[in-house]
Amino acid sequence: MSTRQSHRATILDVARAAEVSRQTVSNVVNSPHKVAPDTLVRVQAEIDRLGFRPSRAARTLKQERAGAWGLEIDARGAGRLGSVLDAFLVELTLTSSRNDTHILPFAAPDYREPIAAYEEVLASRLADGFILTDTRHDDPRPQWLRDRGIPFAAFGRVWDDPTETAWVDVDGAAGVETAVSHLVDEGYQRVAFLGWPTGSPVGDDRRAGWARAVDRLGVGDEAWQGVAVQELDAATLAARPLVDIVGPGGAIVCASDALAAGVWRAVHERGLRPGLDVGIVGFDDTDAARVLGLTTLRQPLTEITERVLAILLNAQTPPAAGTVLHPELVRRSSSSRTVIPPAR
Amino acid sequence: MSTRQSHRATILDVARAAEVSRQTVSNVVNSPHKVAPDTLVRVQAEIDRLGFRPSRAARTLKQERAGAWGLEIDARGAGRLGSVLDAFLVELTLTSSRNDTHILPFAAPDYREPIAAYEEVLASRLADGFILTDTRHDDPRPQWLRDRGIPFAAFGRVWDDPTETAWVDVDGAAGVETAVSHLVDEGYQRVAFLGWPTGSPVGDDRRAGWARAVDRLGVGDEAWQGVAVQELDAATLAARPLVDIVGPGGAIVCASDALAAGVWRAVHERGLRPGLDVGIVGFDDTDAARVLGLTTLRQPLTEITERVLAILLNAQTPPAAGTVLHPELVRRSSSSRTVIPPAR
């Protein structure tokens, strides 16, 4: 077995070895100016020799810092296809570990009262601030946090207060415009849109990009749109009339990969082939897109997580306003009218 | 705006209101036996009136508890399809929030030195113990934790020490046997297996279930197996020869949905139809299975997370040994030789 000590050295071990009180050891760690120089040297030598590490609890009392950032997880995900936010949590965890900080995910037991969950995390002193996702209109969280001086950064625009808050978002409208242009370049002649019910700022933004692009390129009509929630059967149902409208040689752009998976199903049901007959573009490059071969818009999650953490870890820098990044078009067979050879 | 106070009451606020020292307030919270009864009543009244909540840091110093459990996230996931472990993290977070505890995900900067990351989390006092996943042979973590008396529970058998540790796992071999029986009942006459490279105890367990079932039912041959890592192109490549071996009327059972997605692709490449021509069964009921319509074995994640947390939160109960749960067969079109009507 290893020669390591079988338990971590405590403050008491150091105090005994240096023949001083626990309080003196504590002073050496937290208030060295209070300690006589020769004692300081002797105690520090024992701290080094024994490998004593002051506990986070002790340091937190002094520094009032937890060393972690709260991230609310949506508890209503059951039955829905995974969203980009699951991938965001994993990416944040990886980036945090490289930057000597941590992420504390939590869920609001009652989604209608999100503030209560934030209060609980703060009261527990497990987080120094928050990373907001699922930002929306009439979102009570940003103002509540600002009123209390609690640091936060958002993945997604702080829609009600975009200039005085710190956030990182992706230009969904521009991304969808890129997708429509790509489909027209590939030879599709009609482009419909499947989105979320109106009122979601992210969904409305993506819909606006489609409306602008089809108007500019003359390949769509305002009536060629449908809505569904983020669930496969609902998306399939909403996709059927759109498939009938655009028909072979047409295409459908979607606000998410889950919606695009519904289009993929509806296309198959009609005996048509994704790509070859009807073009499909999703959003987020989730597993659904990868296994179905869906062209999609990928959000640069690594850059987003790095920027969000930089805002929180460098709070002394100017309270950054928003940063808008561009999504990347990932081309796969669902937007190609010719057969793409399979992987070798 | 709300009538709430704009900042949380501090120990100093209570001390001033009750006209006592901070130390007295601290004693009321942590050592009430040291405080005179009338003072105790007066200070407690101010604590209640002001809504003062002792900080977690202060309680942690006293109780030596953080109120959270560390969960290592595999940093090598890039490019791979999502695994059941991402869903496990989300499920654990939801279950923890309902049980007044928290999950602290972290990643090992160097996956070859997992212990260093566990040491760092402990030194930070951000977690009271750990939930282990990705358990394997020659896993240094269980012994290291046991030597130090650090609580842990595993999702997955503690393979090197299954009787003296606490874990919850799913019977993968029995699940795969169920899948093979189901395929035979559906009329498939030959059943191959696509798994992970040997040496992974989970993968080897699932392979053993296939080998037993095809031997018992006379529908397979030891040579009808392939291996691939958890990545779509690799799985597709490994699936091609198996599709050729079993042909129409045959089927392929897989150690994961990601591998099954590769089989799905290989079946399409050969101009065959999943289900109608070649049966496919995956494992884990991930998004890939749902969008492709793959029959799969679902692990009962809600029950698993509840049991894992119960082990940690009730550490005074007997140090539970292992619990084995059964996966549920989720039937979809990929194991049906007749057309399943689409969702309405």
Question: What are the backbone dihedrals phi and psi of residue B324, each rounded to the nearest 5 degrees, phi first?
Answer: -110, 120
Residue A269 at interface with chain B, using a CB cutoff of 8 Å: yes
Asked if residue A18 belongs to a domain, the reply is yes
Residue B110 DSSP symbol: S
Comparison of pLDDT for A53 and B180, the residue scoring more:
B180
Q: B241: helix, coil or strand? A: helix
B106 and B143 co-located in one domain? yes
Asked if residue B288 belongs to a domain, the reply is yes
pLDDT at A178: 98
Residue carrying structure tokens 């071990």:
A13
A52 and A156 co-located in one domain? no
Q: Which domain holds residue B97?
A: 68-170+301-326
A220 and A256 co-located in one domain? yes
Of B6, B67, B124, the CB nearest to A56: B124
- Res. A90: pLDDT tops 70: yes
Beta-strand runs (E) in B2-116: 68-73, 102-107
Asked if residue A311 belongs to a domain, the reply is yes
pLDDT at A28: 79
CB contact under 8 A, A93 and B102: no
Chain A segment 45-64 residues within 8 A of B by beta carbon are 53, 55-58, 60-61, 64
Could you give the CA distance from residue A256 to residue B141 in angstroms, rounded to a whole number?
40
Q: Please give the C-alpha separations between residue A253 and each of A200, A324, B7, B81, B135, in angstroms, as whole numbers.
A: 17, 22, 47, 23, 42
Which residues are within 8 A (CB) of B44 and not within 5 positions of it... i.e. 6 or more apart? Answer: B28
Q: Region A207-212: what's the mean pLDDT?
A: 98
Residue A291 at interface with chain B, using a CB cutoff of 8 Å: yes
B166 and B277 co-located in one domain? no
Asked if residue B38 belongs to a domain, the reply is yes
Of A1, A57, A89, the CB nearest to B57: A57
pLDDT at B41: 83
B276 and B201 co-located in one domain? yes
pLDDT at A203: 95
Q: Which of A13-22, A30-39, A279-288, A314-323 has the highest mean pLDDT?
A: A279-288
pLDDT band at A208 (very low <50, low <70, confident <90, very high): very high
Choose the weakest-confidence range: A213-217, A311-315, B187-191, B235-239: A311-315
Per-residue pLDDT reduced to its tens digit, B250-305: 999 999 999 999 999 999 999 999 999 999 999 999 999 999 999 999 999 999 99
pTM, two decimal places: 0.81
pLDDT at A51: 79
Q: Region B301-327: what's the mean pLDDT?
A: 84
Asked if residue B56 belongs to a domain, the reply is no
DSSP track, A196-217: PPTT-HHHHHHHHHHHHHHHHH
The amino acid occupying position A74 is: D
Query: Residues of chain A with pLDDT > 90: what percent?
Result: 61
pLDDT at B93: 93
CB contact under 8 A, A93 and B105: yes
- Res. A84: pLDDT tops 80: yes
Domain count for chain B, please give it: 3
pLDDT at B266: 98
pLDDT band at A54 (very low <50, low <70, confident <90, very high): low
Asked if residue A152 belongs to a domain, the reply is yes
pLDDT at A33: 67
pLDDT band at B123 (very low <50, low <70, confident <90, very high): confident
pLDDT band at A343 (very low <50, low <70, confident <90, very high): very low
Mutate to test the interface with B, among A1, A291, A305 (most CBs of B within 10 A): A291
pLDDT at A35: 78
pLDDT at B80: 72
CB contact under 8 A, B93 and A105: yes
A16 and A86 co-located in one domain? no
B177 and B295 co-located in one domain? yes
- Res. A31: pLDDT tops 60: yes
Nearest CA among A266, A253, A262, A248 for reference residue A296 = A253
Question: What's the mean per-residue pLDDT of chain A?
Answer: 88
B211 and B291 co-located in one domain? yes
Q: How many residues does chain B have?
A: 344
Residue A5 at interface with chain B, using a CB cutoff of 8 Å: no
pLDDT at A114: 84
Choose the weakest-confidence range: A23-32, A49-58, A196-205, A277-286: A49-58
CB contact under 8 A, A82 and B81: no
Residue B249 DSSP symbol: T
Nearest CA among B56, B126, B8 for reference residue A67 = B126
Count of beta carbons in the 10 Å neighbourhood of residue A40: 16
Query: Residues of chain A with pLDDT > 70: what percent?
Result: 89
pLDDT at A56: 53
A285 and A177 co-located in one domain? yes
- Res. B34: pLDDT tops 80: no
For residue A216, give how far its alpha carbon lies from the nearest alpha carbon of chain B (Å): 33
- Res. A53: pLDDT tops 80: no
CB contact under 8 A, A97 and B109: yes
User: Quick check: ipTM above 0.85?
Assistant: no
Q: Which residue in chain B has the smallest CA separation from A10?
A: B123
User: Is the separation of the CB atoms in A263 and A272 below 8 Å?
Assistant: no
Residue A332 at interface with chain B, using a CB cutoff of 8 Å: no
Which residues are within 8 A (CB) of A23 and not within 5 positions of it... i.e. 6 or more apart? Answer: none
pLDDT at B3: 37
CB contact under 8 A, B342 and A236: yes
User: Is the separation of the CB atoms in A199 and A168 below 8 Å?
Assistant: no
pLDDT band at B317 (very low <50, low <70, confident <90, very high): low
Choose the weakest-confidence range: A77-86, B161-170, B328-337: A77-86
pLDDT at B344: 42
CATH number of the domain encompassing residue B40? 1.10.260.40
Task: Calculate helix-pair angle for A22-30, A56-63, nearest 10 degrees.
Answer: 60
Identify all chain B residues contacting A109, using CB atoms and an 8 Å cutoff: 97-98
Q: Quick one: A103 exposed, middle or buried, by C-beta within 10 A (0-12, 13-18, 19+)? A: buried
pLDDT at A79: 60
Count of beta carbons in the 10 Å neighbourhood of residue B316: 6
pLDDT band at A162 (very low <50, low <70, confident <90, very high): confident
pLDDT at B51: 79
CB contact under 8 A, A7 and B77: no
Of A64, A81, A108, the CB nearest to B290: A81
- Cα angle value A31/A34/A36 (rounded, 5°): 125
CB contact under 8 A, B104 and A106: no
pLDDT at B101: 93
B37 and B117 co-located in one domain? no
DSSP track, A119-150: HHHHHTT--SEEEE-S--TT-HHHHHHHHTT-
pLDDT band at B6 (very low <50, low <70, confident <90, very high): very low
Asked if residue B344 belongs to a domain, the reply is no
- Res. B340: pLDDT tops 80: no
Per-residue pLDDT reduced to its tens digit, A236-257: 999 999 999 999 999 999 999 9
Could you give the CA distance from residue A123 to residue A127 in angstroms, rounded to a whole number?
9
Q: Which residue in chain B has the smallest CA separation from A120?
A: B100
CB contact under 8 A, B288 and A287: yes
pLDDT band at A341 (very low <50, low <70, confident <90, very high): low
Q: Which of A105-114, A251-260, B87-96 has the highest mean pLDDT?
A: A251-260
Per-residue pLDDT reduced to its tens digit, B222-238: 999 999 998 999 999 99
Could you give the CA distance from residue B339 to residue B344 in angstroms, rounded to a whole number?
15
B212 and B234 co-located in one domain? yes
Burial A220-229 (b: 16+ CB within 10 A, else e): beeebbbbbe
A244 and A178 co-located in one domain? yes
Q: B96: helix, coil or strand? A: helix
CB contact under 8 A, B291 and A75: no
Asked if residue A342 belongs to a domain, the reply is no
Residue A102 at interface with chain B, using a CB cutoff of 8 Å: yes
- Res. B216: pLDDT tops 90: yes
pLDDT band at B37 (very low <50, low <70, confident <90, very high): confident
CATH number of the domain encompassing residue A235? 3.40.50.2300
